[in-house]
Amino acid sequence: MTSFKSKLARLGPLPAERRGAAPLAVAQASLDRGPAVDGVGSSEAPPALAAAAPAPTDAAPAAASASPSTGVARPSLDDLRERISRIVARGAPPTPRADPARGELPFHVEQTPGGPLYASRTRSLAAARVGRAPLVAARDADPAMLALLSLDPALAGCDVRRALFLDTETTGLAGGTGTVPFLIGLAWFDPGADSAGPLGEPPSDGFVMEQLLLRRLGEEEPILRRLAERLADASMIVTYNGKAFDMPLLRTRYVMNRLPPPPELPHLDLVHVARRIHKARLKSRTLIALEHDVLGRVRVGDVPGGEIVACYAHFLRTGDEEALLGVVEHNAADVLAMVALVGLYGEPLGSLAAGDLAGAAATLRRAGALERAAELADAAVERGGGAVARRARGDIAKARGDKARALADYEALAAEIDDPSVRLELAKLYEHHVRSFARALELADQGTAEPEPAQARRRARLQRKVDRSAAALALPFGQAAGAGAVDGAPARPCSEPAAPQREGDARGREE
């Protein structure tokens, strides 16, 4: 038995013994008593052994977490959960305020069927300006002029007093379903306030600015429903690059929120108008650049467009409303700048610089309004518009059929700048209108803005005409008269119209 007891000791404590020592004590007592007599063993332990056996206690579960080898207690699953929660709570940012209307942002909350709507509404004074341009000038803008400058006839019948100016700040510039407009700026003309102004001034006309803020993602429905209401009351939309970005993005958000799409209204996108009017004077035609170079206003402390997304992400993550204050001011400045630009473009003759007038005149020529285009071109030349103004006036005169005016402007322009396209226009006029083939050939030899095969054909044709004219000079007077006009003959001064043939007819036969 001794060898068996030593082997048992080398095995270590049995599983049952790890929960309590009583079974081991009973086994050892049975071994000490020896074998049973006549096959009958004792059925109970001696009193001394029974008293020595430890009774089970409540401390047994705690012993289960102890390591058999080291005896160090291991943490339970509940302890681990508690430790993790303490670590996460230490680094968690504060949650955003439940009601931004009570914080630093200038918004008030409106309870709507679709949820809370955070809106800000202000009213401009009658004398408000953006730089040198008054806001109220947009109220009297000529819709026909805006339609011509935008090359969109649908705008001619719109009421500018019911125009809705719109600009959005979004979570990205890529568009698509993942981009969300979190701030929408709106402005419209209000014919009069119900009460006096803040300084006691009488009620007057002005523009109302309304901004709609998305407090957190997923609460777009009240904003989209308010925008639909504003669009329903408007006669036209005014944006800056809204045809390519803002409106397609907003229509996508209506689809994503399972709302009816907004009404389709005539759309004046000022970015296209600005590119046509200011392309000769301004290299950058962003809205901020126009505000600086055209309206004469410099933004101080403005949030750059590239930082707007980061500001809103910071607001969502931390609830820091101060991060959005600059974004709200940036959005308001963009909307008011569009209002001021409509006032300038709606009456360009009295507000635009000479170079910009030339761009407006060229745009009106494209639209077919030649008389109004000629008026703007004359004003541009008189105000010192330079080569750009002369080129615009020459092109307009040519389109109107005033070849003498066009010839004079192109000649002055050729003496001022070296432009192959100007020489091409002069070569055409000298060939088909003045019929001075030698002068036309001289201009063609200097180079025109044509492909090389076209230039070669033009020079060859002019050379044949010059040769025929020279041959006609060698004939007697009667025969020369029958052969046709002699090159350089003063039979028809430049101010007189061409022969019964038209320029297009002559070009078609000669080319």
> What tokens appear for 500 in the block?
């019964």
Say yes or no to pLDDT of 414 above 80: yes
Which has more confidence, 369 or 486?
Answer: 369
* Percentage of the residues of the chain whose pLDDT score is greater than 70: 73
Cα separation, 346 vs 354, whole angstroms: 16
Cα separation, 208 vs 125, whole angstroms: 10
Q: How high is the mean pLDDT of the chain?
A: 81
Which has more confidence, 301 or 28?
Answer: 301
Task: Supply the DSSP symbol for 215.
Answer: S
Strands 267-269, 236-239: parallel, antiparallel or unpaired by DSSP?
Answer: parallel
Cα separation, 336 vs 259, whole angstroms: 29
Q: What is the pLDDT of residue 191?
A: 82
Positive or negative: CA dihedral 27, 28, 32, 34: positive
Confidence of residue 40 (pLDDT cuts 50, 70, 90): very low
For residue 205, count other CB atoms closer than 10 A to its CB.
15
Say yes or no to pLDDT of 14 above 50: yes
Residues 94, 320: contact at Cβ < 8 Å?
no
Q: What is the pLDDT of residue 91?
A: 64
* Percentage of the residues of the chain whose pLDDT score is greater than 90: 59
Least confident of 183-197, 243-257, 422-436: 183-197
Give per-residue pLDDT as tens, 137-167.
Answer: 999 999 999 999 999 999 999 999 999 999 9
Cα separation, 340 vs 134, whole angstroms: 6
Confidence of residue 55 (pLDDT cuts 50, 70, 90): very low
Give per-residue pLDDT as tens, 64-84.
Answer: 455 555 566 788 888 888 888
Say yes or no to pLDDT of 13 above 80: no
Q: Can you tell me the mean pLDDT for 346-352?
A: 88
Which has more confidence, 432 or 200?
Answer: 432
Residues 311, 326: contact at Cβ < 8 Å?
yes
Say yes or no to pLDDT of 362 above 50: yes
The helix (run of H) or strand (run of E) holding residue 313 is helix 308-318
Q: What is the pLDDT of residue 474?
A: 67
* Nearest Cα to Cα of residue 295 among 338, 346, 347, 332: 338
Question: Which are the contacts of 357, defined by CB distance < 8 A and separation ≥ 6?
Answer: 348, 349, 376, 377, 379, 380, 383, 385, 389
pTM assigned to the model: 0.72
* Nearest Cα to Cα of residue 399 among 430, 361, 435: 361
Say yes or no to pLDDT of 214 above 50: yes
Q: Can you tell me the mean pLDDT for 333-357?
A: 93
